[in-house]
Amino acid sequence: MPEIRNYTINFGPQHPSAHGVLRLVLELDGEVIQRADPHVGLLHRATEKLAESKPYNQSIGYMDRLDYVSMMCNEHGYVRAIEQLLGVEVPERAQYIRTMYDEITRILNHLMWLAAHALDIGAMSVFLYCFREREDLFDCYEAVSGARMHATYYRPGGVNRDLPERMPQFDKAGSKWHGAKEMTRRNANRQGSLLDFLEDFTERFPKHVDEYETLLTDNRIWKQRTVGIGVVSPERAQALGFTGPMLRGSGIAWDLRKKQPYAAYDKVDFDIPIGVNGDCYDRYLVRMEEMRQSNRIIRQCIDWLRANPGPVRIDDAKVIAPSRERMKEDMEALIHHFKLFSEGYCTPPGEVYAAVEAPKGEFGCYIVSDGANKPYRLKIRAPGFPHLAALDEMSRGHMIADVVAIIGTLDIVFGEIDR
């Protein structure tokens, strides 16, 4: 018998974007992992340094591009930090809109995670189903911002605009390809406002989550690939700096929406799901239940927003740009618009840290201000970095195939890790 010795292999990167920028160096004994060394830095984009060279309001769009699956939640963390520096109070209607869009973003994130995680492990159908629901939610992004992903919708002092009274329709030109009857069907739930469209989505969505669970939750192959894989105890999860579903999957009910409420989270009712065993399967169950709870929060926000019209941003010309209607009629308003977006505004000297419960965990921004119109220092606390740092500990003793399941359960996006 030849002597079997440890050997080292590269696990990725396979592709120059998305999850492909992770390079793992695996030290193996046969197919059993002895050590996993994540190599990061292949997507370094210097977001923090870029933000220190630009006025505060020019960096909101950078936040969308960090974790490019949790766009508006990233904006929320950055905008909240600026608001703390300025000492502004956001109108209540804007707080409810932010809460609603944070939860839309959470569902978007978890659908993308589920689609990719299931595909990695070998379940093809779930990928197609998840993208079906994501399309509706991207339409909600587009309705308020004009962009399907990188919205830049949240602004210091509120949001850019109120919710539209009419949803965009599918173009009638599409009937050439799909037929007039099909286009009428597609536009059936788009005849009312954005809130009507979202309400229709929230009525359909729980059944879709049931479909995903029918395919996976009791599927014996799925359970063989996830139960007992990547186990992290509650004590280790805390020591490693886990947040979000990674921490709650290990049985610790820590959620900033409950523990340190912001926006309108103290006015809506929802539950925090937690796991028992701290393995990949428990983290899967936590995220599935989080989608149901997000749906529940969105329904409550819809009801409140229908009953309570009002301003969606503060009335402060130093921070908020004039409306488009005013700019078309008033040259002074137009000059104010250009000046605000080119020079920005100055914040009082000081330092703040503001965090939100993003879909992947705690996303926070630490800003040091020296009184200028740009941050003296910006440090982003991204949830994915401590999770990736634990990959070595979670992988040891598992097989190569299990590393795929562990990477999937981390739900990492490298835009925020290689920031």
- Domain of 369, CATH number, reads 1.10.645.10
**Which of 151-165, 176-190, 201-215 is least confident?**
176-190
Question: Which residues span the domain enclosing 32?
Answer: 7-87+90-169+180-313+348-416
332 pLDDT exceeds 90? no
Residue 232 lies in a domain: yes
Cα three-residue angle 258-260-261, rounded to 5 degrees: 65
C-alpha to C-alpha distances, 193 to 100, 348, 363, nearest whole angstrom: 15, 40, 31
Question: Looking at the domain assignment, is residue 221 inside a domain?
Answer: yes
Q: Quick count: other Cβ atoms within 10 Å of Cβ 212?
A: 21
User: Is pLDDT of 252 > 50?
Assistant: yes
Question: Residue 320 falls within a domain, yes or no?
Answer: no
Flag whether pLDDT at 78 surpasses 70.
Answer: yes
- Of 356, 360, 376, the closest CA to residue 368 belongs to 376
Does 330 reside within a domain? no
Q: What is the mean pLDDT of residues 134-151?
A: 92
Q: Evaluate whether residue 83 is within a structural domain.
A: yes
% the chain with pLDDT above 70: 95
Helices 125-145 & 92-121 angle (0-180, nearest 10): 160
Residue 274 has pLDDT above 50, yes or no: yes
Q: Which residues are CB-neighbours of 135 under 8 A, at least 6 positions away? A: none
pLDDT score, position 17: 46
* Per-residue pLDDT reduced to its tens digit, 152-165: 999 999 999 999 99
pLDDT of 60 higher than 60: yes
When pLDDT is averaged across residues 321-341 and rounded to a whole number, the result is 83
Check whether 194 has a pLDDT greater than 90. Answer: yes
Residue 382 lies in a domain: yes
What phi and psi, each to the nearest 5 degrees, are found at residue 273?
Answer: -75, 140
Contacts of 237 (CB under 8 A, 6+ apart): 246, 247, 250, 252, 278
**Angle, vertex CA 106, rays to CA 101 and CA 112, nearest 5:** 125
How high is the mean pLDDT of the chain?
91
Does residue 174 belong to any structural domain of this protein?
Answer: no
Q: Report the domain count for the chain.
A: 1
pLDDT at position 399 is 94
What pLDDT, on the 0 to 100 scale, is given for residue 23? Answer: 85
In a domain, 41, yes or no: yes
Strands (E), 15-99: 23-29, 32-39
Q: 9-23, 182-196, 211-225, 277-291 — which is least confidently predicted?
A: 9-23
Q: Out of 183-197, 350-364, 385-399, pick the least confident.
A: 183-197
The pLDDT assigned to 177 comes to 62
- Average of pLDDT values for 248-270? 96
At residue 69, the pLDDT reads 92
Q: How many other C-beta atoms can be found within 10 angstroms of the C-beta atom of residue 199?
A: 17
DSSP type of residue 52: T
- Tell me the pTM: 0.94
> Tokens 């992903």 — which residue?
149
Task: Please answer whether residues 209 and 288 qualify as being in contact, where contact means their C-beta atoms are separated by less than 8 angstroms.
Answer: yes
7 SS3 class: strand
